[in-house]
Amino acid sequence: MRRRGDLRRIARGLRFQLTASFALFFAVMLIAFTGLFRERLIKTLNDQSQELLNQEWSTMKGYMHIDRVAVTKPLKVYWIYDASDPDETNSVTEIQKVYLVADANGHAINEVINDTESNGPAESSTYEDLGGDPPAVITKRVRDALAGKPNTPFFITRYSKSGEPFLIRYGLVYDDRHANPAPFYVAIGTSLSNNAKILNGFTWIYAGVFPASVILGLVLGWIVAGRALRSVRDVAQAAQRITGSNLSLRIPSRQAGDELDYLILTFNRMTERLEASFQQIKQFSTDVSHELRTPITAIRGQLEVALFTAKTVDHYREAMFNALQDIDRLSQIVRALLLLSQAESGQLALQKSRLNLCRALHDLVDQFQIPAEAAAVHLSADLPVECYADVDRVQIDRMVTNLLSNAIKFTPEKGHVFVRLRPRQDRVEIVVEDTGKGIPVEHLPHIFDRFYRVPGSGTAPSPEQGLGLGLSFVAWIVRAHDGKIDVKSEPGKGTCFTISLPGADVPAGAIPEVVEHA
Ligand code: ADP
């Protein structure tokens, strides 16, 4: 059972699949090439045999004559050649091995005269062994040949009784010594057993070479795939060495510019992002402990002082009052953190409804007039009559409150804070601008981070403000509403936050419902 599981695992493995594909490709190519080669070989051997027969045919026409002097006398075939010349004798003997001469009616000529001696039939014993040609067949072939071009060669393959293949060439030959030459049917042949032997030999060699090649392909494929995958294994091992405590490790690039390098690059980028997240979490834990420790230390100090030095009830009351203020700050931090983590983990669902942003902003600006007057800052708003958006009113109030309180907080006396609302096609822009101290450009990318305060901004932790969480909330609220936030700031001149939210059309006649601030 386990073995089968192991086999299945190996079969699914990349190395095995690469090897199998390689061997399959190898086998298919081998079969295709061998098939093509075999076809060509057969054709070449066939062409050669036909060429040989064509030569024999010409030779035969030179040496063979048919006697037709007297119609009543039996026809005779004369082979006229120089018997003392071994070349001529050989050629004639070769032709006479497989041959048949017949008249146009299909009657085989009975007498053959070789030069001067040896009588015998004008059909070789081998041709007889092939079954001869019946007169009806010969007559038809003569007729067909005469109907077409009389000199066209015809080739057929025939088998002897023992199964030996022969290529036969047949056609017409004219007794051209006569004024009105009559056609004779002649067939000559040659054994194809040599061709068959060559093909057989080739098939046997192929039968041996094919499995050997496929095995070789498998072995080679296994080695090549192993080599190719070794780099992947190296990368995997390098990746395994990366843990939470050494996220700064990177997989070295192979500088090959291939897919694996791309994978390494992607992996390294992912590790970079992970490292940044880990760093953020670490920083966050440090910040949280720091933020919590400060009020706890203060409470402890106040209580200790009260315990050891307080003499009157007023002393005790003052210490307890201070401690309570710090406890307030502590619970404010804890509440804000809880809310933020709920928001970012998606547990805080938005309660959207159609809201006239002008009225909502108008109310908020009204509320902030008192703190603005207290800080001697001039707060004004430029709002159209109506502007609608589908938003969560509680969160939009929280967002604008954070921006307004920051703007007033960081604007010196006699400064200005402006609130604007600008409808833009299918979006709405809320702008909170001040003429305050501004934010140095190097701090801009961090102001939305949790607990981030621009160093030297003078917002020392106090029970009311300066947690460094306000803009983190703003960023989340904007994101949750599919909006965008943009900040422009110039130190000494002021800061401008622009929030763009999806707008909403109000159906004609419909009175928008305004959700009351919770
Ligand atoms: P805080 O509770 O400290 O205001 P925020 O997250 O709201 O925290 O803001 C982060 C930091 O960004 C602030 O400490 C301040 O340094 C800077 N900041 C925010 N708004 C303004 C502004 N309008 N002008 C100048 N600095 C600002």
499's tokens: 């929030």
At 175-201, the pLDDT tens digits run 666 666 678 888 899 989 888 899 999
- CB-CB contact of 199 with 37 (8 Å): no
293's tokens: 């420790």
118's tokens: 């040896």
> Ligand 1: does its nearest atom lie under 6 Å from the Cβ of 450?
no
Interatomic CA distance for residues 233 and 236, integer angstroms: 5
- CB-CB contact of 439 with 491 (8 Å): yes
Q: What is the mean pLDDT of the chain?
A: 84
Helix (H) or strand (E) holding 38: helix 14-63
Question: Which residue lies with its CA nearest to atom 11 of ligand 1?
Answer: 453
> Ligand 1: does its nearest atom lie under 6 Å from the Cβ of 403?
no
> Ligand 1: does its nearest atom lie under 6 Å from the Cβ of 291?
no
> Ligand 1: does its nearest atom lie under 6 Å from the Cβ of 454?
yes
Q: How many CB atoms lie within 10 A of CB 306?
A: 17
Interatomic CA distance for residues 469 and 460, integer angstroms: 14
Q: Which atom of ligand 1 approaches the CA of 436 most closely?
A: 24
Residue 447 C-alpha from the chain's centroid: 41
Could you write out the three-class secondary structure of 131-199? CCCCHHHHHHHHHHHHHCCCCCCEEEEEECCCCCEEEEEEEEEECCCCCCCCEEEEEEEEECHHHHHHH
pLDDT above 50 for 283: yes
Radius of gyration of the chain (CA): 54
At 416-456, the pLDDT tens digits run 999 999 998 889 999 999 999 999 999 999 999 888 888 86
Interatomic CA distance for residues 349 and 103, integer angstroms: 110
> Ligand 1: does its nearest atom lie under 6 Å from the Cβ of 428?
no
pLDDT band at 488 (very low <50, low <70, confident <90, very high): very high
CA 328 to ligand 1 centroid distance, Å? 21
> Which of 399, 453, 462 maximizes ligand 1 atoms within 8 Å of its Cβ, making it the mutation to test the pocket?
453
Under DSSP, the state recorded for 441 is G
191's tokens: 């054994």
pLDDT of 69 reads 54
CA 451 to ligand 1 centroid distance, Å? 10
Q: Which atom of ligand 1 approaches the CA of 494 most closely?
A: 24
For residue 114, what are the β-bridge partners? 79, 117
pLDDT band at 92 (very low <50, low <70, confident <90, very high): confident
**Closest-CA residue to 391 (of 367, 359, 365, 418):** 359
> pTM for the full model?
0.52
User: When comparing pLDDT for 73 and 374, which is higher?
Assistant: 374
Interatomic CA distance for residues 202 and 210, integer angstroms: 12
> Ligand 1: does its nearest atom lie under 6 Å from the Cβ of 392?
no
170's tokens: 């047949």
Residue 118 C-alpha from the chain's centroid: 83
pLDDT of 517 reads 36
pLDDT band at 139 (very low <50, low <70, confident <90, very high): confident
> Which of 410, 465, 478 maximizes ligand 1 atoms within 8 Å of its Cβ, making it the mutation to test the pocket?
410
pLDDT above 60 for 398: yes
- Give the alpha-carbon dihedral of 35, 40, 42, 46, to 10 degrees: 170
> Ligand 1: does its nearest atom lie under 6 Å from the Cβ of 411?
no
pLDDT of 185 reads 87
> Ligand 1: does its nearest atom lie under 6 Å from the Cβ of 188?
no
> Ligand 1: does its nearest atom lie under 6 Å from the Cβ of 124?
no
pLDDT of 121 reads 59
CA 177 to ligand 1 centroid distance, Å? 126
Q: Which atom of ligand 1 approaches the CA of 469 most closely?
A: 6
> Which of 403, 406, 435 maximizes ligand 1 atoms within 8 Å of its Cβ, making it the mutation to test the pocket?
406
pLDDT above 90 for 508: no
Share of the chain above pLDDT 70, in %: 89
C-alpha distances out from residue 483 to 184, 317, 411, 479, 487, Å: 104, 48, 26, 6, 14
